[in-house]
Every structure is written in structure tokens, then in C-alpha cells.
A and B are shown apart, each in its own frame.
Chain A
């Protein structure tokens, strides 16, 4: 028989734990699940960050003296995998998506709450398994890309655990994607049109399409790879007649879209934050929607720009260079839209705004190096050097992580009803921004001068610049301290926020803070103009 879950019943005291305990339960409430994603992701971020510090300590000197070479390889593999699959993807999709999307579409929960809880609870065990693999026979050593033949020849148990864990995380991501698509398309409140949705909904719709279309290919590929490791087949093993380039194609068919899975939601979040703190409507809503969808389509056909040095034939290089250049167009449109949104606005300089502006600056830089990397003659020189490391950290850290922090400052009052401390927030921003640029800007130079990535030792001529980079990493590590202090202090005795401290117009602010179990006391409000800033407020003041 069917037991449809009545949220009223499931959230009733007798069935669900109250207070902080509910964050440890199989809760079906999208708000609880969102916070579970966020906190779980942040814990893994701390682990991944510790590993990053270990990498930078090792690279402060040219010899491998801090740890043995194979441990270095394990550390960088775990670092990359944790940061991508356990921090960025779950947080920027799972955490903010779960918390916000139901509000934005005017629903009381996600379309499939149970599937939602399952998707979250797949994450902690697979993450712990991945971390624990270090203590078995050594963790995987082949990098987050797990290229064969390296991944076939390095110690097997670590690699197998890595594959299993990434498969589970991929499954979690697919379940999440299905849920978001169904929620956004099907669960909209009556009267709410698609073109009235806040931009984050569009970003999540695009992201979820990418998740659903590309993650299964990664899953299939990893299954074949595990056969190569366990069953001695030769799909990707040249010794047995296999073909390593096929792995690369399949892997990047997922992993280029994956970079958009990491950054598109951040595009959406920044589009929510900027209008609120600049008191202006989001500039170019329609072009924004079309550029998101353009990125989704193009994002599926640019993957081989990661493989220009893998013996790709000339026609393929040409095609993928051009396609990649095209994808810069919608990305550029979005950039101009954000700048135009700020232009002439009544900008409040607060932590959320600062982190968003930091995002815009860093992201432009990462975008420019990206377009440069898409040019074959240039890429052949800098492929697999620190230039690539600098490029993607500008996007993933300078872009997405900055937006995660910006979003935390922006929505903390929503979730807790308390304000964060602005002084600590601004301190957090300054140290992060300086530390980040100090850490990664010099890496462009290192790469251009030929320092390869993923090697524990390097030519002594690079030592000074590497030390600057490590100093930046130290600042980044330190920057977490004011943030954590801020969170702990404010959760306990932060200033009361009221329901809508930013005077925002998007639907999540039109209910109490923190919101009631079913999001609204009465019916969900119909928000036809989520960015109608300017008019009402000029009258008010």
C-alpha cells in the first residue's frame, strides 16, 4: 500500500527528532537536508584544506622532504577528489539548491523528499571511505582524473575504493539532479511562469541537465576501469590492446560539464546576491537565461580541449578550440550583466557583497586564462604545468568558493534568524582575497616557465615563487579562523535579524526567519518580480 508522506506528520515531534538532533536524522525537510549538505561539505573542506596545506608545505622546498613521493601523490589525489566531489559539488548544488529551490518555486518541499534524503546520506559514508582508504594500502595516487595506465598500475585497493566512492557520489549527484529538474519544472506554484523564476532556478535547471546527461557516462567509465583493475580486462590497458585515449574522452565528457556543474550554480547564486545589495534589478534577465542554456549545450561539446596533447587529430583540435571559444560568449554576457547590475546601484559594502565582487574579479581572470588554454599552440606548452593549476583554481576557488562564502553571509540570517558579525566577515574576506591571489597568481608564472604539476620536486630556480605561493596558502588557511569564530559566536548570540534584514524581494525572504516547517504559514506568495528593486524602496526612504 502507498504511504504518501504527509509533511505535517513526518515533521511531527513523535516521528522526527527536534532541535539540532534532526540534522543527524533521515529528515525529509528540504531545509534540514540543505544544512546537512552544507555542514558535511564544510567538514570535508577542512580535510581537503589540510591536505592542500600539506601540498604547499612540501612545495616550499624543491626536494621532497616533507613527505615521501608516493604519499605526495596520494595527498594531491585525495585533495582534488575531496574538494570537487565532497565540497564544491554537494554544497553549491545540494546545500543551496535544497534550501532555496522549493522557496523559489513556491513549494513546501522538493518533488521527491525521500530520494533527496537518500542522495544526501550517500555522501558521508562514501567520503569517509575515501579518507579511510589512506590507511589501507595507501590511497589512490592517480590524481582526481584517475588516468590509466597510471590508475591501473598503482596499488589497487586504494584505487578501487576511490572508484567505489566516486560512483556513490555520482549516484547521489544524479538523484539530486533528477529531483531538481522535477521540482523546477513540475512543482511550480500555480501562476508562476518560468520566466519569473529567480535566476538560481535556471542555473540549477541547467546544472541538473548536465548532471543527468554526463554523470552516468563517468559511472560507466569507472566501471570499465574497475574491470581493468580487478578482472584483468584491457579496456584502457595498452599492454592488453586497450586504448587509454578512449578513457580520456569518456572521462572529459563528464568532467568538462562537471566544471560547469561546479560553477553554474555559483552564477545563479551571485545573480541573487548582487541585486539585493545593490538595490537594482538583475540586468538582462532574458539574456542570462539564454546564456545559461547556451553554456549547457556548448558545455557538452568542448571536452577535448583537455586532450590537445593526447594525439588528437587536427580536425578535432580545430573543432574543440572553436567550440571552446564560443562558450566564452555566453560566459562573457553573464559577466557584463553582473557589472551592469552593480552599475549605478546603491551598493552596500558588506561581506556578502565583497565576496561576490571578489568572485567577479577572480572569475574574469580565470576565464581569460581558460580561453588562452583553449588555443592549441599555447596549450601544448603549458598543458600539465602549474598554469593549468592556476587557471582552474581561479575559477573553482576564486569563483565558486568565494560565492559559497558570499552565500553563507547572505543567507545565514535566513537560516538562523541571527546576523553574522560584519567586522569578522570583512576580515575574512580581506585575508581570503589576499591569500588566494598570493597563492595562485604566481602559479601562472611558474607554469609559463615550465614547472610541471603533480610532482613533489622541482627545479630550484622556482623555489622563491613557490614560497610566495605557500605563504598565500598559509593566509588562506588562517582566513578560516575568523569565519569559524564568526559562525560559532553568531549562532549563539548574534544580533537578531528579523525576517528580512536585507529587504530582499525573492520568495525565501517573504516568510519568517528561520522559516516554519512548511515554509509558509499560509499559501506560498506569488512573486512575479523577484528583482523589482528600485521602485518600492526609493519611495520608502
Chain B
């Protein structure tokens, strides 16, 4: 694995900043997440506009049930907390604890995805049935893609925080912190999505 930046080395050459440089990879990640959030904002805006101006045609079916998505909301919120625990453990260099929490977080992510698929298969409408059906699948699908990527990244850093030879430690927290921020972001998007798609 390589990181995307040479910032530290470059700053080191700039003798005055030798010690005091800050790590701005996080800054870059936050900027990226704002961009990613705008994609969702576009989707939400489209959905809300459709809702306001495009009535559901006669006979079209678009009904959602609450139990599974509510469970999914809880799963993701809990997973945010467990991820946080993993970070705290790593900060104290308790690598095996950290790894356990990470695996547990990834496990919650996988359950979320399974529930999502289960919901897909039991909904009374398909992708092309009507405008709302299409928008529903596009939004949840795009979010599900984010969860999938996040889960994969969690598994990768879990592997990297293994006790022997793992590269993560209290001195190298960035990969974990980056994935954690991303994961909280994906959770936040889900909460908004849950409110807009299911509750409104």
C-alpha cells in the first residue's frame, strides 16, 4: 500500500516546518466526502422534486415497509459506535481488541447488506416499474455501493491491525481514522435517506 501524498516529505524539506507539520490527508478526505455528499444531495433533490410534481400514475405500486429499514438504521448506528471502539483500542495499542471491534463492525455492515438485498427481493415493485421505484433503487443502490466499499475497507484495515506485522498502531492511526470518517459519513447519509425515502 502506498499513500497518495508526499506531503510529509515535501514539508520536511522545508526546514522551518520540520517538526510542526500537520497531516492534511484528512483534510483531503473531508473535501472528497463533501463532493460525495453532493452526489447524494442531487439524488435527494431529484426525488423530492418528483414527489412534489409527478403524481404516481393510477395502478402503479410503490409501497415500502418499515421493519427492515428500521433494523438497518439500528445496525448502522451501532456499527458506528463499534468502529469508534476500535479506534479507541488502537489508540491504546490494544491491537487485538481493535481488530475484534473492526471485524464486528464489518459483520454489521454485511448484515446490513443482506437485509437490504432481502428487502429488494420482497418489494412489490421492480426497478423499471415507475418513477419512484426507479429512484428508490437508484438511491438505496448507490448507498449500498458505499456500504460495500466501506465494509471491504474495514476488512482491509482489520487485516492491517493484526498483532504481528500489522502496520496500524497508535503511531499510524490514519488509515483507521480515514475509514472511520467515511463510515460515519455513510451512516449519516443512511439516516437522511431513511427519513426522506421511508418516513416522509
Q: Report which A residues bind B (CB closer than 8 A).
A: 1-8, 10, 28, 106-109, 111-115, 174, 177-179, 181-182, 185-187, 189-190, 212-217, 219-221, 223-224, 227, 231-235, 240-243, 246, 249-250, 253, 518, 523-524
CB within 8 Å for A5 and B9 given contacts A186-B22, A235-B131: yes
B28-42 interface bits toward A, Cβ cutoff 8 Å, 1 = contact, 0 = none: 100110111111111
Question: Are the C-beta atoms of A217 and B135 separated by less than 8 Å?
Answer: no
Q: Point out the residue from B1, B130, B172 that lies within 8 Å of A241, measured CB to CB.
A: B130
Please judge, given known A-B contacts A217-B42, A518-B13, whether A111 and B5 are in contact too, CB under 8 Å. yes
Question: Chain A's nearest CB lies how many Å from the CB of B25?
Answer: 8
Say whether, besides A1-B1, A178-B32, A217-B38, A7 and B134 are in contact (CB < 8 Å).
no
> Which residues on B sit within 8 Å (CB–CB) of A224?
43, 46, 138
Contact A28 B6 (CB under 8 A): yes
CB distance from A171 to the nearest CB of B (A): 10
Q: Which residues of A contact B70 (CB under 8 A)?
A: none
Please, how many angstroms separate the alpha-carbon atoms of A1 and B1 in the complex?
A: 6
**A106 to B53 Cα, complex, angstroms:** 52
Q: Chain B nearest CB: distance from A51 CB in Å?
A: 30
Q: From the candidates A174, A221, A243, name the one contacting B50 in the complex (CB within 8 A).
A: A243
List 15 extra interface pairs beyond A213-B34, A227-B138, CB under 8 A. Answer: A1-B1, A4-B6, A107-B10, A112-B4, A112-B5, A178-B32, A187-B11, A212-B35, A213-B38, A216-B36, A220-B40, A231-B128, A234-B130, A235-B131, A243-B53
Q: Which chain A residue lies CB-closest to B13?
A: A108
Bound CA span A322–B142, Å: 36
Q: Closest chain A residue to B57 by CB distance?
A: A241
Contact with A along B66-89 (1 / 0, CB 8 A): 000000000000000000000000
Q: Which listed residue, A6, A185, A217, A220, touches B6 by the CB 8 Å rule? A: A6
A114 to B60, alpha carbons, bound, how many Å?
Answer: 50
In the complex, A180→B72 CA distance in Å?
38
B45 contacts A by Cβ under 8 Å = yes
Shortest CB–CB separation between residue A152 and chain B, in angstroms? 13
CB proximity of B159 to chain A, nearest CB, Å: 13
Residues A2 and B24 in contact, CB atoms below 8 Å apart: no
Query: CB distance A4 to B27 under 8 Å?
Result: no
Q: CB of B3 within 8 A of chain A? A: yes
**Contact assessment for B31 and A181 in the assembled complex, using a CB-CB cutoff below 8 Å:** yes
Cβ–Cβ < 8 Å partners of A216 in chain B? 35-39, 42
B181, chain A: closest CB distance, angstroms: 15
Residues of B whose CB lies within 8 Å of any CB of A are: 1-11, 13-17, 22, 24-25, 27-28, 31-32, 34-43, 45-46, 49-50, 53-54, 57, 60, 127-128, 130-131, 134-135, 138, 142, 167, 172
Q: How far is the CA of A2 from the CA of B178 in the complex (A)?
A: 15
Q: Hey, which chain A residues are within 8 Å of B34, CB to CB?
A: 212-213
Tell whether, in the assembled complex, residue B27 and residue A186 are in contact, meaning their CB atoms are under 8 Å apart: yes
Question: Which residues of A lie under 8 Å from residue B131 when comparing CB positions?
Answer: 234-235, 240-243
Q: Does A109 lie within 8 Å of B10, measured CB to CB?
A: yes
CA distance A28 to B9 in the complex (A): 13
Please give the distance in Å from A295's CB to the nearest CB on chain B.
Answer: 19
Q: Is the CB of B24 within 8 A of A187?
A: yes
| Nearest CB in chain A to that of B37: its residue | A216
B52 → A minimal CB distance (Å): 10
**Given A220-B43, A234-B131, A253-B42, A178:B6 Cβ within 8 A:** no
Please indicate the chain B residues that have their CB under 8 angstroms from the CB of A181 in the complex. Answer: 31
Q: Which 8 A-B pairs have the closest CB atoms?
A: A5-B6, A217-B42, A186-B24, A216-B39, A233-B134, A216-B38, A220-B42, A220-B39
In contact, B10 and A182 (Cβ under 8 angstroms): no
Partner of A111, one of B7, B38, B40: B7
- Residues of chain A with a CB closer than 8 A to B130's CB: 234, 240-241
Contact between B31 and A182, CB atoms less than 8 A apart: yes
| Residues of the A chain whose Cβ atoms lie less than 8 Å from the Cβ of B128 | 231-234, 240
Tell whether, in the assembled complex, residue A114 and residue B13 are in contact, meaning their CB atoms are under 8 Å apart: no
Residues of B within 8 A of A113 (CB): 5-6
Residue ID in chain A nearest B54 by CB atoms: A243
Report which of B9, B41, B167 forms a contact with A4, defined as CB distance below 8 A. B9
* Subset of 21 A-B contacts with CB under 8 Å: A2-B1, A3-B2, A28-B6, A108-B13, A112-B4, A112-B5, A114-B5, A178-B31, A182-B31, A187-B7, A212-B34, A212-B35, A216-B37, A233-B127, A233-B128, A234-B131, A235-B131, A240-B128, A242-B54, A242-B131, A246-B46
- B53 to chain A: which residues have CB within 8 Å? 243
Quick check: A217 and B50 within 8 Å, CB to CB? Answer: no
A217 to B36 Cα, complex, angstroms: 9
Is B14 a contact partner of A108 (Cβ separation < 8 A)? yes
Q: Is the CB of A221 within 8 A of B42?
A: yes
Residues of A within 8 A of B3 (CB): 2-4, 114
**CA gap between A6 and B14 in the complex, in Å:** 13
With A107-B10, A235-B46 known as contacts, the answer to whether A212 contacts B31 (CB < 8 A) is yes
A527 to chain B, nearest CB (A): 15
Name the residue on B nearest A191 (C-beta): B16
Looking at A178, A223, A523, the one whose CB has the most chain B CB atoms below 10 A away is A178
B50 pairs with A246, CB closer than 8 A: yes
Q: How far is the CB of B93 from chain A (nearest CB, A)?
A: 18
Measured between beta carbons, the chain B residues less than 8 angstroms from A250 are 42, 45-46
**B7 engages A219 (CB within 8 Å):** no
Q: Which residues of A contact B16 (CB under 8 A)?
A: 190, 523
* Contact A215 to B35, CB < 8 A, known contacts A109-B10, A235-B46: yes
The residue in chain B whose Cβ has the minimal distance to the Cβ of A211 is B35
